[in-house]
Each structure stands twice: as C-alpha cells, then as structure tokens.
C-alpha cells in the first residue's frame, strides 16, 4: 500500500507543478501571467483565471478538510467553490491568490503524507474513500490547467 501512496503523491505533484509529459501543469499554466491577464474573461458570465485559481485552492482545502475530518469554515476567503473577482474593494491581490494556491497545495500534500495509507482508506462519504479524493484532485488540477491554457489562447486572438 505504501507504493500506492507514493504513486498518488507522484500524480498530485505531476499535475500541480512537476515535470509532466502532457504539457503545462496547473502551476505551469500560470507562469508569466500578470493580474490584468489573469482577470480577463473570455465572455460575460465566464470565469477568469483568477477565479479558477481560487477555485483550485478551495478544492485543495476541501480535500484536506475531508481527509482530516476538520471542521468547515477555515478557508481564508468567505464563500465556497467559486469566488467572483470583479474589481470590488477588499479583494486579495493576484500575488496573494497565487500564494493561497501554493499554501493550500502544500497543506493538502502534508495532510496526505501525514495520513499515509490510513488517509487513503478513510471514508470521506458514503461511497468515497480518501484515495478517490487524492486521485481526483490531480485530475482537477489538470482539467483547470487545460482550461487556463485555452483562456490564454483566446486572449491572443
């Protein structure tokens, strides 16, 4: 089972920021982006890259919280899932948003390693075990990395 844990951690690392054969990782897809480009929307009602970053940070927090059975409500931003960024006062800066993504990833990864094999087998719902969340967060990162790359391509049109 330790081998399975190592494999899941490798998947998470590769999807987030590791060297990957498939192209940009989630963190790599953000390289070179400034706050203006990160705030751009493909069209009305679509998410900006900033919103995707906060969404990804939130789900890393959620995976960690579910694996450790921690109480809800400790995410640094008010709300859940999607955090609209429309230039309202009091918003976090792009740099703070990137730092939040990094921090939540590191905390999640640490919780997975600390929980070890037990975290993989822990029930996190009626039908889910921890290992499904671990694999899922890697897939989630890759999905949004692709989405960010598409948004960046649309910006150049």
How far apart are the C-alpha atoms of 19 and 25, rounded to whole Å? 8
Residue 89 has pLDDT above 80, yes or no: no
* pLDDT for the residue 125: 80
Residue 88 has pLDDT above 60, yes or no: no
Q: Find the DSSP H helices in 17-157.
A: 26-29, 35-39, 49-68, 94-121, 130-155
Please state the domain extents for the chain.
2-155
pLDDT tens for each residue of 13-68: 999 998 888 888 999 999 999 999 999 999 998 999 999 999 999 999 999 999 99
Model pTM? 0.92
Exposed e or buried b for every residue in 114-133, given b needs 16+ CB within 10 A?
ebeeebbebebeeeeebbeb
Residue 148 has pLDDT above 70, yes or no: yes
Tell me if the domain spanning 2-155 has CATH number 1.10.20.
no
* pLDDT for the residue 81: 92
pLDDT band at residue 87 using 50, 70 and 90 as cut-offs: low
């Amino acid at each position: 089972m330790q081998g399975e844990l190592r494999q899941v951690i490798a998947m998470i690392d590769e999807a987030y920021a590791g060297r990957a054969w498939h192209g940009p990782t989630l963190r790599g897809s953000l390289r070179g982006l400034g706050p203006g480009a990160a705030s751009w929307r493909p069209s009305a009602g679509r998410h900006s890259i900033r919103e995707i970053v906060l969404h990804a940070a939130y789900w890393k927090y959620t995976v960690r919280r579910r694996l450790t059975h921690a109480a809800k409500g400790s995410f640094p931003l008010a709300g859940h899932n999607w955090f609209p960024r429309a230039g309202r006062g009091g918003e976090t800066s792009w740099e703070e948003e990137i730092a939040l993504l990094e921090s939540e990833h590191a905390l999640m990864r640490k919780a997975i390693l600390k929980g070890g094999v037990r975290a993989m087998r822990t029930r996190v719902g009626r039908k889910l075990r921890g290992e499904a969340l671990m694999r899922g967060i890697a897939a989630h990162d890759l999905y949004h990395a692709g989405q960010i790359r598409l948004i960046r391509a649309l910006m150049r049109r």
